Amino acid sequence: MIVVLHGPMASGKTFHSEAFAKHFGCSAVADWDCRERELPRSNALLLLTNEHPDRVVAKIRKGRPDAEIRVVHIRTARLAIGVAPVAPPLRARRPAR
């Protein structure tokens, strides 16, 4: 199965990627956008993207028409692993000077 995890930049997709992969049963993780050449080869793949999910699914279908695909929004994924549904603002994450 290919899990397409989509959401805006700086929403925690990459930061929590190991936890997401474990939760969704994926053995490979890739930060990916539709401009990339090929989809990484794996039967248990977690794709992290800020692209629109319909565009990503269409791109996957071109190369792997029979692939099982699950689309998950970052908020749903964050709740599934037990973290807040929204990442704190970037300025709140920077250490005080």
Could you tell me if residue 11 is inside a domain? yes
pTM, two decimal places? 0.86
pLDDT digits (tens, 9 = 90+) for 78-89: 999 999 988 877
- The answer on pLDDT for 93 being more than 70 is no
Confidence (pLDDT) at 97? 60
Range of the domain at 49: 2-83
Give DSSP secondary structure letters for the chain.
-EEEEE--TTSSTTTTHHHHHHHHT-SEEEE--TTSSS----SSEEEEE-S-HHHHHHHHHHH-TT--EEEEEHHHHHHHTTS-SSPPPHHHHSPP-
Could you tell me if residue 20 is inside a domain? yes
Confidence (pLDDT) at 96? 58
Could you tell me if residue 94 is inside a domain? no
